[in-house]
């Protein structure tokens, strides 16, 4: 078997074309343009590239973006003050703090200071809770992108064995919850899982987000499985690779995502979708803030 390569660039482009139309409709109907504020702290090279891509993608579909750069040694209260002002700014419909933050930062405090109504990353506790009970407004962008890829390929989830490798708050955990919502049978593996292969071999659909190049080898994958590689690893020679031995696994799987060009472009497209959805919510006459009563700041 040779896998069909899922073209994330093409699917992401379709979604962006749709986003452009939605933005035009909002502007025509209300005179308001969706706005996204992006905050980056420090000079992590990968984060700089991700943020640049997000800002470019906004411009590409007509979303207004505001970028705020802070040095790694900034006092975190200055960042929280900025977020508080953005929470109150009617021109801003989405707020994103690029992760990771410098180790001295209290990440939870920063993320929970973002209004749940503008939390287009879906990292606020309210939106995480929404994910658990199946009613989130802002699904986290990377797992949301994975679901869109599966949907595009008409890959059913109901009753399928799905194994998620990686249990991060950004990808693995929300991915598992979203798959459960679609009635898949979900197993989550992580860094402490013994004999990873005994789980991965059972997967009809294998989603890998562990951050280790070549973690998944062909003998760990069932013939005909769907393999989604969320990993992005920079090798010593500069090459960008995922977590899956692509050539070996592609010979055995039915579908596979490449790196680059698979899940990566989808993450950015789903951020645009969430930002536009947020703007549309704010435009609705019936809009009730989802989270006005919870304390904005969570202390240690």
Which member of 117, 119, 121, 204 is catalytic?
121
Give the shortest CB-231-to-ligand GUN separation in angstroms: 12
Residues that bind ligand GUN (CB under 6 A): 96-99, 121, 141-142, 170, 267
Give the shortest CB-221-to-ligand GUN separation in angstroms: 25
Give the shortest CB-48-to-ligand GUN separation in angstroms: 12
Buried-exposed string 258-280: b where 16+ CB fall within 10 A, e elsewhere: bbebbbbbbbbbbbbbbbbbbbb
Torsion of the alpha carbons at 272, 152, 180 and 36, rounded to the nearest 10: 0
- Pick the closer one to ligand GUN by CB: 189 or 266: 266
Give the shortest CB-284-to-ligand GUN separation in angstroms: 26
Return the number of other C-beta atoms located less than 10 Å from residue 30's C-beta: 12
Which two tokens mark 290? 């989802």
- Pick the closer one to ligand GUN by CB: 96 or 175: 96
4 is catalytic: no
Q: Count of residues for the chain?
A: 300
284 is catalytic: no
Residue whose beta carbon is closest to ligand GUN: 99
In the chain, what is the straight-line distance between the N-terminal and C-terminal CA atoms, in Å? 52
Which two tokens mark 122? 């879906």
- Pick the closer one to ligand GUN by CB: 168 or 283: 168
77 is catalytic: no
Q: How far apart are CA 243 and CA 228, in angstroms?
A: 10
- Pick the closer one to ligand GUN by CB: 168 or 193: 168
Q: Which sequence positions are flagged as catalytic?
A: 54, 98, 121
């Amino acid at each position: 078997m040779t896998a069909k390569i899922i073209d994330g660039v093409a699917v992401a482009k379709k979604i962006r074309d749709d986003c452009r139309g939605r933005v035009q409709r909002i502007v025509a109907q209300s005179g308001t343009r969706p706005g996204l504020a992006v905050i980056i702290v420090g000079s992590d090279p990968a984060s700089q590239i991700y943020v640049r891509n997000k800002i470019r993608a906004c411009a590409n579909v007509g979303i207004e973006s505001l970028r705020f750069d802070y040095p790694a040694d900034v006092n975190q209260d200055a960042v929280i003050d900025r977020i508080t002002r953005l929470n109150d700014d009617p021109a801003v419909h989405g707020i994103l703090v690029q992760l990771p933050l410098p180790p001295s930062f209290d990440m939870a405090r920063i993320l929970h200071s973002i209004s749940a109504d503008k939390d287009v990353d879906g990292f606020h506790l309210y939106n995480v809770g929404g994910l658990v009970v199946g009613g989130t407004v802002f699904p986290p962008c990377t797992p949301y992108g994975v679901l869109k890829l599966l949907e595009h390929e008409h890959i059913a989830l109901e009753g399928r064995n799905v194994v998620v490798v990686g249990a991060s708050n950004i990808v693995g955990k929300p991915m598992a919850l979203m798959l459960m919502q679609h009635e898949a049978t979900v197993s989550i593996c992580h860094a402490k899982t013994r004999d990873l292969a005994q789980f991965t071999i059972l997967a009809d659909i294998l989603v890998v987000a562990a951050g280790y190049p070549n973690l998944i080898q062909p003998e760990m994958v069932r013939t005909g499985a769907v393999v989604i590689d969320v990993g992005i690893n920079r090798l010593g020679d500069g090459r960008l690779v995922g977590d899956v031995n692509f050539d070996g696994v592609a010979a055995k799987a039915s579908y596979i995502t490449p790196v680059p060009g698979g899940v990566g472009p989808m993450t950015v497209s789903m951020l645009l979708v969430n930002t536009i959805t947020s703007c549309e919510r704010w435009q609705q006459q019936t809009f009730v803030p989802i989270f006005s009563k919870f304390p904005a700041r969570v202390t240690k």
